[in-house]
């Protein structure tokens, strides 16, 4: 269980005491927001990645990402071990509910992103493999090509992947 600070402070014996409340969800914080682009065959998957952080810089840059189970992106990354992490900018805010609250099995995310003014762009990977070209969101703060190192770790609702940055 997580604990979150409540809005009020209590005064007890001339000391300020902050009350904690039990919650099942992480607190909503102003943190970087990421999208992960994946591909398996001809279909590009695109979702919001809630958990992503760098964990090492030498000898390789390694990131840890949390992949929500049951999503197209999870399935594609599990098969290929590859993806592109995209750090979104404030102008991408309108995409968060589309990319994170709906499934690519039910809607065409590429088409819906284009309607919102964010047509996907073609990306050639660092290896120059044009057959496996991903489509990415335009104008992200940065793009990191990731490749899986080792195996996915089952963490309940998510699998954790350690990834090398190309």
User: How many other CB atoms are found less than 10 A from the CB of residue 83?
Assistant: 28
Give 128-156 pLDDT, tens digit per residue: 655 567 899 999 999 999 999 999 999 99
Confidence of residue 51 (pLDDT cuts 50, 70, 90): very high
- The 3-state secondary structure of 125-142 reads CCCCCHHHCEEECCCCCE
Place of tokens 């990402």: 65
Answer for the pair 66, 155: CB distance below 8 angstroms, yes or no. yes
Model confidence at 26, in pLDDT bands (50, 70, 90)?
low
For residues 24-41, average pLDDT: 79
Q: Is residue 64's pLDDT more than 50?
A: yes
Between residues 85 and 134, which one has the greater pLDDT? 85
pLDDT digits (tens, 9 = 90+) for 110-123: 999 999 999 999 98
Q: What is the pTM of this model?
A: 0.80
């Amino acid at each position: 269980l997580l604990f979150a600070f409540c809005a009020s402070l209590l005064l007890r014996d001339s000391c300020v005491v902050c009350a904690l409340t039990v919650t099942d969800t992480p607190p909503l914080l102003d943190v970087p927001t990421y999208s992960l682009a994946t591909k398996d065959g001809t279909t590009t998957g695109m979702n919001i990645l809630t958990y992503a952080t760098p964990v090492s810089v030498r000898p390789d840059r390694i990131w840890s990402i949390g992949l929500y189970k049951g999503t197209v992106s999870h399935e594609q990354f599990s098969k290929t071990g590859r993806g592109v992490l995209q750090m979104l900018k404030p102008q991408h805010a309108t995409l968060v509910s589309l990319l994170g609250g709906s499934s690519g099995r039910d809607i065409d995310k590429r088409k819906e992103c284009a309607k919102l003014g964010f047509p996907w762009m073609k990306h050639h990977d660092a290896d120059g493999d044009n057959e496996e070209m991903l489509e990415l969101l335009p104008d992200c703060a940065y793009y990191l090509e990731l490749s899986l190192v080792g195996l996915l770790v089952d963490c309940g609702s998510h699998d954790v992947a350690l990834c090398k940055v190309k």
